[in-house]
Amino acid sequence: MNSSFTIGWPAKKSFLLFVLTVTGCLYINFFEVSLADGYWLSVDGFSRIVIPDTFLYSDIIDVNNVITSLAESGVKNALVPALIWYAVGFDWYLTFFLNIFLIYCCTLYMKGLAKQYGISVIRARSAVVVFLIMPTTIYYAIGALKELPMMLGFLAILYHYNSRNFKAVLLAALFLVATRYQLAFVVLLLIFISRFRNPIRVACGAMLGVSAIFPLIGHFDILSAANVQEFRFNYGASGSFGERVEFVRDNFYFLSAFSVVIRVFQSLFEPIIGLVHNFSFYEDGDLSIYRIVSVISNCFCAPYIALFVIKLKDVVLACSRINKEVQLIYATLVVSLIIIGGFSFIHGRYLVPFIPMIIVAGLIPLNRIREDCGVVQCSSGSTAVLPQSPQFPRT
């Protein structure tokens, strides 16, 4: 008789979420006094123990006049994180528990998307595990921030679009725009792109076209160019490669398109590039929690970014024989990464909300994304067997 005992996947995922929750509670307990006082630098030998924006979102709300205080604060994109603080009574632990729930919802959508795109159960589970053990997952759950709500919003839009539940798509889109209002442009652009037979080529063409005339757009300062220059000045990056890339992007038509692509990759790999440039996890003598978290997570994500880029090339080249639903996840990433990472880059953390989507897109098997039967030689040299048109589940 086989007496071996195997633990099922739900128990394993629950255990990971439990470990994540306990770790986060211990972290908050260790820094509880500093968090309560609004300190995030030089705390017991540690630096950047939390994203400082969360203190700002907590401070702007007047409990006696919530709506007016939000409207008069002048803080951009504060609505959702500020209301989260207000809803939990400005309690760090309750905020963290709410964020754990958002993370759990993200894992459900990742699993659902993996099933829709034909990703094997084993790979889907490995994707969820990687997402849960990445340090950024727990780090951005400390305090109320925009990253986790944005992450959930994008995943929900894709899943419900594939399921043809357009009411849920609308609700997810409204939630996403409420979290970061600039994403209204991204959502509207994706709606427009989704109307075409090959949305991935439309997305790539539109983004390259806008990139080619970026110097003209930059003159209107609608993409936070002034903020980027201020960031460069404050952090002493004069003469850096990044500054040169931005100079070409901002001043030379057509060449700006190449600069935007370079800037996207710089944004995606900013933590690793920063470590190569300055191999240290210390900041003014203190150990930087943010840098440790960012570098380790970037190493976790790097293979999936590489897979995404490789498969993006194949999807673009063979898009006429690929599901529109599959094309749309790549189109969403192309549009979002270029607009956020290529046009208005300041911090690499702006791309954190797209990590689960990148992981899922990188795992979509080529023999599950075709429209019809047959065999196609992919540009990467691999042979893809083409199944019958996959039917996405309806709700």
Task: Return all residues near 390 (Cβ < 8 A) that are at least 6 apart.
Answer: 118, 323, 368
Query: 15-24, 242-251, 282-291: which range is least confident on average?
Result: 242-251
Question: Is 393 within a domain?
Answer: no
**pLDDT computed for residue 17 by the predictor:** 94
Question: Is 60 within a domain?
Answer: yes
**pLDDT computed for residue 380 by the predictor:** 43
Question: How high is the mean pLDDT of the chain?
Answer: 86
Question: Is 238 within a domain?
Answer: yes
DSSP output for 176-216: HHHH-TTHHHHHHHHHHHTTSS-HHHHHHHHHHHHHHTHHH
Q: Given a cut of 70, is residue 376 above it in pLDDT?
A: no
pLDDT in tens, 294-330: 999 999 999 999 999 999 999 999 888 888 999 999 9
Three-state DSSP state, 4: coil
Amino acid residing at 183? L
User: Higher confidence at residue 328 or residue 276?
Assistant: 328
Question: Is 3 within a domain?
Answer: no
Question: Is 248 within a domain?
Answer: yes
With vertex at residue 341, the alpha carbon angle to CA 57 and CA 308, rounded to the nearest 5 degrees, is 115
Confidence of residue 223 (pLDDT cuts 50, 70, 90): low
Prediction pTM value: 0.88
Question: Is 298 within a domain?
Answer: yes
Question: Is 259 within a domain?
Answer: yes
Query: 70-74, 169-173, 334-338, 350-354: which range is least confident on average?
Result: 70-74
Number of separate domains in the chain: 1
Confidence of residue 39 (pLDDT cuts 50, 70, 90): very high
Question: Is 391 within a domain?
Answer: no
Find the domain containing 189 and state its range.
9-386
